[in-house]
Amino acid sequence: MNTNGNTYTVIYSTVLVILVAAILAFVSMALKPRQDDNVKVETISKILTAANLYDAEAAAQKGNAYVLEQYQNCVASAEIINYEGKTLQTLTIKGEDGKPVIFDALKPQYDLMKKIADAQDKGQSESEINALKAQLQLPVYTFNSDGRKIRVVPCYGAGLWGPVWGYLAFEEDMNTLDGAVFDHKGETPGLGAEIAHEKFYSQFHGKQIYDQAGNFVSVKVVKGGAHGDINGVDAISGGTITSNALQKTIEQWLSFYVPYFKTIASENAAAQAGTDETGTNINAEE
Amino acid sequence: MKDVNYKELLLKPIFKGNPVTVLVLGICSSLAVTVQMKGALVMALSVTVVTGLSSLVVSMMRNSIPNRIRIIVQLVVVSLMVILVDQFLKAYSYSISKTLSVYVGLIITNCIVMGRIEAFALGNRPIPSLVDGLANGAGYGLILVIVSFVRELLGSGTLFGMRIIPQSFYDAGYMNNGLIILPPMALILLGCIVWVQRSLQKDLQEK
């Protein structure tokens, strides 16, 4: 047979491509549910790590099932709020398939935040900016941990080579961080990539996002060392751009959560005052 | 058809004709994925599977492939294998597939795969081609494991993620070598391996 003819070549390549496409489509469809599960479990494990509820050893032994179970045992509520702190939607904790629903559309929120910042730079009117802000969907996961409620919020932004993201867990005062965890797509190994290591993110434990005067300052990632600053952690040597990007990301996200944080903090303070019979002058923050 | 010497086929690519140190193919990925042994091992297995299966499939098709689109056909077969490996890793070994990130996809451009298909599978029967592909993947993997062993041990003080260098060393002032985590150091290590191999094997030395 003449394998060099035009007709043969065209038919051969067509058949080959169709065949390969069919195989790939089949495999992709067959493996898709498993892959989606893995992505979801990965996200949940990050959220749990931030809230100090994650046991890496148990996860290594029992796999995905442990992570889902641990989440469902500890979570009190999961909801999406808007920039004013109003609840837009609650997320299912145990869906029909037995798995929780996790809000994973962080990138669209980040894009929206960039638009809002642009609009503010251009000096657009308040109502235009608020219309943009109203589109924001901000997830909050609340966990029960030793009788306290720990609230975990995400952040997502641009690092040096690709996206960086993470989760921040707050104590009931909505000021002190209980923990944090970060991840990245492709920061430089040994430098920027260190943000994903415990040595870096464990520094966030006990840090606060308001300064002494009660102004929102977020948590700074300080080059040269934070030296015990309650609002700062040590940056990574050689990873300045990633460190700065992370600081900006945290600040950007938390700034939209501040109204919600204040509401919760004052509710908690009021509840505290209610249970405490002698408690009189506990003033909730505005 | 002449008899195939399977032993020669299997052993040559692992040492005497190693694709990385002798043919100097597939350098790019051996620099990128050798920071940790676990990743290097999975990468080695993935490349072995891809070279083996691609060689096998191309060899089975070799008499029907139109010569003018030979390279494209090979490329389609190789990409099929690579995407399959990538999909399976994502489904069954997610954390490792995250560590390897784009480099699994980049196996497509690994010169070893196309090199073995062009040089061997197109002119040989399927079974010898499969063996040749697997052996070359293993040769590549061996270098990856050696390089990652040194890099993980000196760079992070661990092997397969387990702490090897005891805490007392760190207390006494020992520090992990940050330079060794960066790609240039992998190239230098690779150079050292080539050096050792060439001094052991005189016939590889150029006059």
Q: Mean pLDDT, to the nearest integer, of A84-94?
A: 87
Interchain proximity B73–A13, CB inside 8 Å = yes
Q: Tell me the C-alpha distance between A188 and A186, whole Å.
A: 7
pLDDT, position A282: 47
Confidence check: pLDDT of B186 > 70: yes
Distances (CA, A) of A72 to A63, A94, A144, A235, B133: 15, 7, 11, 34, 47
CA distance A208 to A229: 9
Rg value, chain B, Cα: 19
Contact B90 A35 (CB under 8 A): yes
DSSP string, chain A: --TTSHHHHHHHHHHHHHHHHHHHHHHHHHHHHHHHHHHHHHHHHHHHHHTT---HHHHHHHTHHHHHHHHHHHEEEEEEE-TTS-EEEEPPSS-TTS-------HHHHHHHHHHHHHHHHTT--HHHHHHHHTT--EEEEEEEETTEEEEEEEEEEE-SSSEEEEEEEE-TTSSBEEEEEEEESSPPTTTGGGGGSHHHHGGGTT-BSB-TTS-B---EEETT--TT-TTEEEPPTT-HHHHHHHHHHHHHHHHHHHHHHHHHHHHHHHHHHHH-TT----PPP-
Q: pLDDT tens digits, residue range B160-170? A: 878 888 888 88
Q: Which chain A residues are within 8 Å of B68, Cβ to Cβ?
A: 4, 9
Residues B20-69: tens digit of each pLDDT: 888 888 888 788 888 888 888 988 999 999 999 999 999 999 999 998 89
A39 touches chain B (CB under 8 A): yes
Query: A12 contacts in B (CB within 8 Å)?
Result: 64-66, 69, 73
Mutate to test the interface with A, among B73, B81, B100 (most CBs of A within 10 A): B73
- Average pLDDT over chain A, rounded to whole? 88
Return the SS3 of B19. coil
The four Cα atoms A114, A161, A221, B96 give a dihedral, to 10 degrees, of 120
Chain B stretch 146-165, residues whose beta carbon is closer than 8 A to a beta carbon of chain A: 155
**A26 touching B (Cβ < 8 Å):** no
- Partners of residue A13 in chain B, C-beta under 8 Å: 66, 69, 72-73
A186 to chain B: closest CA residue: B101
The answer to whether residue A276 scores a pLDDT higher than 80 is no
| Coil, strand or helix at B202 | helix
Tokens of B136: 């070359």
Shortest CA gap B102–chain A (Å): 10
Mean pLDDT, residues A232-248:
91
Mutation site, B33, B69, B77, B82, interface A, largest A CB count within 10 A: B69
Looking at the partner chain, which of B68, B77, B84 has a beta carbon nearest the beta carbon of A27?
B84
Residue in A closest to B34 by C-alpha: A189
Q: Name which of B73, B83, B98 is nearest A16 (Cβ-Cβ).
A: B73
pLDDT given at position A286: 41
- Please indicate whether, in this complex, the C-beta atoms of B35 and A35 are within 8 angstroms of each other: no
Q: Does A24 touch chain B (CB under 8 A)?
A: yes
Model pLDDT, residue B99: 76
**pTM of the predicted model, to two decimals?**
0.76
Quote the pLDDT of residue A204. Answer: 92
d(CA A250, CA A167) in angstroms, rounded, equals 9
* Cβ <8 Å between B64 and A186: no
- A148 Cα to chain B: minimum distance (Å): 31
Q: Work out the mean pLDDT of chain B and round it to a whole number.
A: 87
For the segment B82-105, what is each residue's pLDDT rounded down to a tens digit? 999 999 999 988 888 887 767 888
Mutate to test the interface with B, among A35, A37, A46 (most CBs of B within 10 A): A35
- pLDDT for B2: 58
pLDDT at A280 over 70: no
Model confidence at A74: pLDDT above 60 = yes
Contact yes or no for A4 and B92 at CB 8 A: no
> According to the model, what pLDDT value does residue A284 have?
46
How far apart CA B12 and CA B2 sit, in angstroms, is 19
Q: CA distances (Å), B180 to each of A64, A258, B175, in order?
A: 34, 43, 12
Mean pLDDT of A5-34: 93
Residue A56 burial class via C-beta count within 10 angstroms: exposed 0-12, middle 13-18, buried 19 and up: exposed
Query: How far apart, in whole angstroms, are the C-alpha atoms of residue A190 and residue B36?
Result: 12
Q: How far apart are CA A53 and CA A74, in angstroms?
A: 8
Residue-wise pLDDT tens digits, A34-52: 999 898 998 999 999 999 8
Percent of chain B with pLDDT over 90: 35
pLDDT bracket for residue A11 (50, 70, 90): very high
Q: Do B66 and A20 touch (CB under 8 A)?
A: no
Q: What percent of chain B has pLDDT over 70?
A: 98
Lowest average pLDDT, out of A36-50, A88-102, A136-150, B76-90, goes to A88-102
Question: Average pLDDT in the B130-144 region?
Answer: 92
Residue entry with tokens 């298909």: B117
The residue of A11, A26, A31, A46 whose CB has the most chain B CBs within 10 angstroms, and thus the best one to mutate to test that interface, is A31
Q: Does B175 touch chain A (CB under 8 A)?
A: no
pLDDT tens for residues A197-221? 888 999 999 999 998 888 899 999 9
